Amino acid sequence: MDYEAIFGQAVEKLRDEKRYRVFTELARQVGQFPVADNFSGIGPEKITIWCSNDYLGMGQHPVVVEAMASAVRRYGAGAGGTRNISGNHHAIVELEAELADLHGKQAALAFGSGYVANQTSLATIGKLLPGCVILSDADNHNSMIEGIRQSGCERHVFRHNDLAHLEELLKALPIGKPKLIAFESVYSMDGDIAPIHAVCDLADKYNAMTYIDEVHAVGMYGPRGAGVAERDNAMHRITVIQGTLAKGFGVVGGYIAASKDLVDAVRSYAPGFIFTTTMPPAVAAAATASVRYLKNSQVERARHQERAATLRRMLQAAGLPVMMNQSHIVPVMVGDPALCKLASDLLLSDHGVYIQPINYPTVPRGTERLRITPTPVHTDEMMRGLTGSLGAVWEKLGLRRRAA
Ligand SMILES: *Cc1c(COP(=O)(O)O)cnc(C)c1O
């Protein structure tokens, strides 16, 4: 058995399909983002990042950076263990109190990442409910899909944001059977938003629990940055709210917020919580500072929405195929994996513009795209430059001008 050849062939298959992933090596500098140093050997030494999930630039915010620096000096580098064995640090307990308050829930539980939060929470909640059926939106993130799979529950996938289909599936199940509807608020690739109240109406009608992933909304929507459910006045209707500390909040880590008993059960049974070392206290302190700051400051949220709307207008005026949506995500459709990669390469090498291509399996084949995420620190001038660069690349590659 030639083991090495098998791995080589697996990678070769991705190259053949033009979806082999190449990472761009860069270094962000505090105070300079979205400009960063480029170490990839392609293109200029300074590039502009247009695809960061540090949506508000909180990763370089002085309040957050200082909270992390002072905490690391006080508490040291690591947590020292799992939460069960010596890692239950004051800083993480404080973070959880902040998150419970943010979402108006009795309790919250922090995890090493948003991915783990989804995977282990969904698996555990599903296992704890005898005979539970999980109804899952077709566009749910891989972390939810994996968690649902591990729960061992019967699973039904409803067409993306399709309430009629969801109701059809709910109606077919016995009313006494435990049910959980799992969905997201902002879907990160198309940037569309779920009808949260309508999903909750169906949950009420058919006696189901709700689990929402607000990863692409926390920090960015709602008067205190608790997400779209807060904006829509629907937080109290959701059973479990899941979020990340890595995107809008600019640090790293994930969490759920829910009732005291549900959180206690996940804390007590979830392998992805029990058997792994706690996030460093300095990370927890930085996240707490970010959450706290964004609870009180509207400037970043307002500017973020304005920046996205402005860029969308500019790109549209230039005849580029922008996908329309109600969120901060600005996808530009290419529709071919090789051309998408090529467009991204040209943007970097010839224009100093960094936008990672989004190919299958992140999006369906034939909908390959450039996913642009303008932040409050992207200026009008940068946007004019980007519009020109995209126009030049579209011209050079003969790409489609209208959205598919
Ligand atoms: C990024 C992402 C996650 C995972 O969050 P991390 O904190 O990056 O692990 C979960 N759900 C969705 C929808 C995401 O896009």
Residue with CA nearest ligand 1 atom 5: 114
- Residue spans of alpha helices (H) in 322-379: 337-351
Contact 159, 201 (CB under 8 A): no
Look at residue 145 and tell me whether its pLDDT is greater than 90.
yes
- Please state the atom number of ligand 1 nearest to the C-alpha of residue 53: 1
Dihedrals phi, psi of 372, to nearest 5 degrees: -105, 135
Q: Would you state the pLDDT for residue 112? A: 98
> 61: phi > 0 → left, psi -120 to 50 → alpha, else beta; which?
beta
Q: Would you state the pLDDT for residue 370? A: 98
Distance CA 302, CA 297 (A): 10
Ligand 1 pocket, residues with Cβ under 6 angstroms: 113-115, 118, 141, 143, 184, 188, 213, 215-216, 244, 246, 254
Percent of the chain with pLDDT over 90: 97
Question: What are the residues whose beta carbons fall under 8 Å from the beta carbon of 174, sequence distance 6 or more?
Answer: none
pLDDT average, residue stretch 107-111: 98
Both tokens of 262, joined, read 């549900």
Which segments of 236-392 are extended strands (E)? 240-244, 254-258, 330-333, 353-354, 357-358, 369-372
Residue 237 CB coordination number (10 Å): 17
Q: How far is the CA of 147 from the centre of ligand 1 (A)?
A: 13
Residue with CA nearest ligand 1 atom 8: 114
Both tokens of 51, joined, read 């695809």
Q: How far is the CA of 172 from the centre of ligand 1 (A)?
A: 31
- Please state the atom number of ligand 1 nearest to the C-alpha of residue 252: 7
Q: Would you state the pLDDT for residue 402? A: 72
Q: How far is the CA of 52 from the centre of ligand 1 (A)?
A: 13
Q: How far is the CA of 171 from the centre of ligand 1 (A)?
A: 31
Q: How far is the CA of 244 from the centre of ligand 1 (A)?
A: 7
Q: Would you state the pLDDT for residue 404? A: 45
pLDDT band at 257; cut points 50, 70, 90: very high
Residue with CA nearest ligand 1 atom 14: 215
pLDDT band at 401; cut points 50, 70, 90: confident
Strand partners of residue 9: none
Strand partners of residue 158: 137
- Give the tens place of pLDDT for each residue, 150-206: 999 999 999 999 999 999 999 999 999 999 999 999 999 999 999 999 999 999 999
Residue 235 CB coordination number (10 Å): 22
Which helix (H) or strand (E) segment holds residue 204: the answer is helix 196-205
Amino acid at 14: L
Both tokens of 24, joined, read 């761009």
Q: Would you state the pLDDT for residue 19? A: 86
What's the N-to-C CA distance of the chain in angstroms?
46
pLDDT band at 380; cut points 50, 70, 90: very high
Give the active site residues. 247
Count of residues in the chain: 404
Q: How far is the CA of 85 from the centre of ligand 1 (A)?
A: 27
Q: How many CA atoms lie within 13 A of 182 on its CB side?
A: 30
Pocket test for ligand 1, best of 58, 143, 183 (most atoms within 8 A of CB): 143
- Give the residue among 286, 219, 369 at the shortest CA–CA distance from 63: 286
- Give the tens place of pLDDT for each residue, 312-342: 999 999 999 999 999 999 999 999 999 999 9
By the 10 Å C-beta count (0-12 exposed, 13-18 middle, 19+ buried), 388 is classed as: middle
How confident is the prediction for the chain on average, in pLDDT?
97
Contact 335, 368 (CB under 8 A): yes
Cis ω before 62 (30° cut-off from 0): no
Q: How far is the CA of 253 from the centre of ligand 1 (A)?
A: 10
Q: How far is the CA of 133 from the centre of ligand 1 (A)?
A: 23
- Please state the atom number of ligand 1 nearest to the C-alpha of residue 184: 13
- Please state the atom number of ligand 1 nearest to the C-alpha of residue 254: 7
Least confident of 19-28, 217-226, 394-403: 394-403
